[in-house]
């Protein structure tokens, strides 16, 4: 479905720290502000009502308040090994999957959905 080679000019993520939101230089191992380990972050997406982080093993949702201005402190970690039946809704961009016996639906911005759709299958099948 997708080509195995990554396009060389295509940068899929920047090193924004998922914990504190600070942008770090590309090759950073730890966040310069909060010292969080940045080596296992595959993807970080900022959306309207949450930030979404993808690592090799987890999809992590950092909930934001109604206005999307700050985080509520609620963090939900979905182990990728327990996610199944992934669907990328279109034209209404809803990311759907089965987890823990439930069907979860996460509304994503279109541009975030495109990136996730590109990256996630590589992690899960890999």
Cβ pair 98, 85 in contact under 8 A: yes
Cβ pair 100, 82 in contact under 8 A: yes
Residue with tokens 């770090």: 24
Q: Which two three-digit tokens encode residue 37?
A: 């380990």
Site residues for Zn ion, 36-65, by CB under 5 A, read 36
Distance CA 90, CA 84 (A): 18
Query: Least CB distance from residue 60 to Zn ion, whole Å?
Result: 14
Question: Looking at 2-10, 29-37, 90-98, 117-125, which segment touches Zn ion (CB under 5 A)?
Answer: 29-37
Question: Looking at 13-21, 51-59, 76-84, 113-121, which segment touches Zn ion (CB under 5 A)?
Answer: 13-21
One of 12, 23, 34, 124 touching Zn ion (CB under 5 A): 34
List contacts with Zn ion (CB under 5 A). 17, 19-20, 31, 33-34, 36
């Amino acid at each position: 479905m997708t080509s195995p080679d990554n396009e060389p000019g295509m940068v899929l993520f920047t090193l924004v720290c998922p914990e504190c939101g600070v942008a770090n230089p590309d090759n950073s191992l730890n966040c310069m502000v909060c010292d969080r380990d940045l080596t296992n972050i595959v993807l970080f997406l900022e959306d309207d009502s949450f930030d979404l982080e993808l690592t090799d093993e987890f999809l992590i949702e950092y909930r934001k308040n109604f206005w999307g201005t700050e985080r509520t402190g609620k963090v939900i970690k979905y182990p990728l090994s327990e996610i199944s039946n992934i669907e990328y809704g279109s034209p209404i961009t809803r990311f759907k999957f089965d987890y823990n016996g439930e069907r979860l639906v996460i509304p994503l911005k279109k541009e975030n959905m495109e990136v996730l759709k590109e990256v996630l299958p590589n992690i899960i099948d890999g």
